[in-house]
């Protein structure tokens, strides 16, 4: 901003606020400047000073989680299904009370891309994921 533009702004402020002209006329114009700092190690203002390390981290103690050992309860209940303090775990029902599709779920490895139908969304999601894995692997092999 040049001095002419600053002068125009000051005269407009003088007229808006009804400030006498002798209070605005000065030889120097001062602007408020905030101090720039950075905490980044090696930054311009940091001059290469990084954060100090705070010694060793104490060892974490392993928590002993309770394990159910009662065979009757392990066979008849879904142990760990109750997340509340009160109440009990979900009781396992007879197989006939569950829907038929539950027994047809794939619990093994997912099917290969060649076995999927190319007209399904699942096929194209797998193709895209395979392409991204390939690109990431190729990118990691670059020298720079």
Confidence of residue 47 (pLDDT cuts 50, 70, 90): low
CA distance 1 to 132: 50
Q: Which residues touch 38 (CB under 8 Å, ≥6 apart)?
A: 44, 45, 46
End-to-end CA distance of the chain: 43
Look-up of token digits 């009757």 = 72
Could you give the percent of the chain with pLDDT greater than 70? 63
Q: Which residues touch 90 (CB under 8 Å, ≥6 apart)?
A: 77, 78, 81, 82
CB 131 within 8 A of CB 125: no
Which tokens belong to 11?
């005269």
Give the pLDDT confidence of 62-84 residue by residue, as tens digits.
Answer: 888 788 899 999 999 998 888 89
In this structure, what are the phi and psi dihedrals at residue 25, rounded to the nearest 5 degrees? Answer: -70, 115
CA distance 17 to 26: 17
- Sign, CA dihedral 95-96-102-106, equals positive
Mean pLDDT of 47-65: 69
pLDDT score, position 94: 93
pLDDT score, position 60: 83
CA distance 55 to 101: 56
Give the pLDDT confidence of 108-119 residue by residue, as tens digits.
Answer: 999 999 999 999
Q: Is the pLDDT of residue 131 over 80?
A: yes
pLDDT score, position 85: 86
Give the pLDDT confidence of 79-96 residue by residue, as tens digits.
Answer: 888 889 898 899 999 999
Q: What is the mean pLDDT of the chain?
A: 79
Confidence of residue 53 (pLDDT cuts 50, 70, 90): low
CA distance 137 to 118: 25
Mean pLDDT of 18-27: 57
């Amino acid at each position: 901003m040049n001095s002419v533009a600053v002068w125009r702004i000051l005269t407009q402020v003088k007229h808006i606020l009804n400030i006498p002209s002798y209070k605005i006329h000065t030889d120097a114009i001062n602007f408020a400047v905030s101090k720039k700092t950075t905490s980044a190690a090696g930054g311009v203002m940091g001059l290469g000073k990084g954060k100090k390390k705070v010694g060793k981290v104490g060892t974490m103690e392993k928590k002993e989680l309770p394990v159910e050992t009662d065979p009757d309860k392990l066979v008849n209940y879904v142990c760990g299904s109750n997340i509340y303090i009160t109440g009990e775990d979900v009781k396992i029902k007879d197989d006939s009370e569950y829907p038929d599709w539950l027994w047809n779920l794939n619990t093994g490895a997912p099917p290969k891309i060649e076995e999927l139908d190319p007209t399904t969304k699942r096929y194209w999601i797998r193709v895209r994921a395979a392409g991204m894995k390939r690109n990431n692997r190729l990118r990691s092999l670059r020298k720079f």
